[in-house]
Amino acid sequence: MSTLDPPLAEIHRRVLTWYASAGRDLPWREPGCTPWGVFVSEVMSQQTPVARVEPAWSAWMRRWPTPADLAADSPGEAVRMWDRLGYPRRALRLHAAATAMVERHGGQVPADEEALLALPGVGAYTAAAVATFAYGIRTTVVDTNIRRVHARLVTGDALPAATLTRAESSLATSLLPEDDAEAATWNVAAMELGALVCTARSPRCAACPVEDLCAWRRAGSPAYDGPARRGQAWADTDRQVRGRLMALLRESPDPVAASDLAAAWPADEAKRERCLASLIEDGLVEPVGDSSYRLPA
């Protein structure tokens, strides 16, 4: 880890001041947003751009404003409401987490990180993010954007490692302000800086409040020299086939005949059947009799 010069307090001051004026007005950041609203936003935002999350989050919160409201509905309705956000297993995890909140926590989102981690589908990042953003608890939050900001600002690397390392987590903890409320704001401010300014491609360094303090800029902005990073393909992949089948099932209030699913992807029967089997295994689809399918009841 590089030695910070000037002091960390100056970095905090500049980034927090920048965030106060440049941070996006998102509904889950509003003072009146409930911990459940924060929880839903964190699950939805995994691997999904904010522009797609915001309308889906608003619709979700109108329909299920509390964990108990969601738990009282079927998992299939959660999957249907998830629509095209992608990775629909997250909808099932949200439903399962809401059910656990009702059963274990009186219908409330727990504030304790260990209790959050014990909820279905909740990992270390989500538990920490909900604890700090919903309850103002001082804890270490490390997402892709934060990792990139820390890598450039402190260690001078163009991009962080492909997967989170212990050194990165330790660095993130060392950068936290001591005050609980300020630490919570620092986490979201660093995340926002990575999302809006310190982007993976074409970073807007001239707009960065700490450009002159950035180790990467001081080193001449060296190019990334790690393993090649490839984007995920979509066309003709299992993900595309699964998405096509799920779209048909979401759009129908009744079970869908196997022949209709076959027509949704006629080009490759073996791939279609494999994808359908994987959707059933994931709990996203249920067979009805011998020749129809539906979302989980």
* pLDDT value for 2: 44
Q: How many CB atoms lie within 10 A of CB 206?
A: 7
**Mean per-residue pLDDT, 53-57:** 97
In sequence order, which residues have a C-beta less than 8 Å from that of residue 31 and are 6 or more positions away? none
The single-letter code of the amino acid at 99 is: T
Instruction: Provide the residue ranges of all domains of the chain, joining segments of one domain with +.
Output: 238-294
**Mean per-residue pLDDT, 2-9:** 68
- Give the helix, strand, coil percentages of the chain, each rounded to 5: 60, 5, 40
With a cut of 60, say whether residue 61 has pLDDT above it: yes
Catalytic residue flag (residue 168): no
Q: Which of 17-31, 69-83, 93-107, 228-242 has the lowest mean pLDDT?
A: 228-242
With a cut of 60, say whether residue 269 has pLDDT above it: yes
**Average pLDDT value for the chain:** 95
Task: With beta carbons less than 8 A apart as the criterion, state whether 156 and 219 touch.
Answer: yes
With a cut of 50, say whether residue 145 has pLDDT above it: yes
H/E element, 280: helix 269-281
Portion of the chain with pLDDT greater than 70, in percent: 97
**Mean per-residue pLDDT, 258-263:** 97
**Mean per-residue pLDDT, 24-46:** 97
Band of residue 1 on the pLDDT scale cut at 50, 70, 90: very low
With a cut of 80, say whether residue 5 has pLDDT above it: no
Among the options 10, 30, 42, 168, which is catalytic?
Answer: 42
With a cut of 50, say whether residue 177 has pLDDT above it: yes
**Mean per-residue pLDDT, 147-163:** 96
Q: Among the CATH numbers 2.10.109.10, 3.30.380.10, 1.10.10.10, 3.40.50.300, which is that of 238-294?
A: 1.10.10.10
In sequence order, which residues have a C-beta less than 8 Å from that of residue 54 and are 6 or more positions away? 26, 27
Q: What are phi and psi of 294, to 5 degrees?
A: -150, 170
Q: What tens digit of pLDDT does each residue of 119-142 get?
A: 999 999 999 999 999 999 999 999
Gap between the Cα atoms of 33 and 111, Å rounded? 15
In sequence order, which residues have a C-beta less than 8 Å from that of residue 268 and are 6 or more positions away? 241
Torsion angle of C-alpha atoms 37, 195, 25, 173, degrees rounded to 10: 60
**Mean per-residue pLDDT, 159-163:** 94
Q: What tens digit of pLDDT does each residue of 207-220 get?
A: 999 999 999 999 99
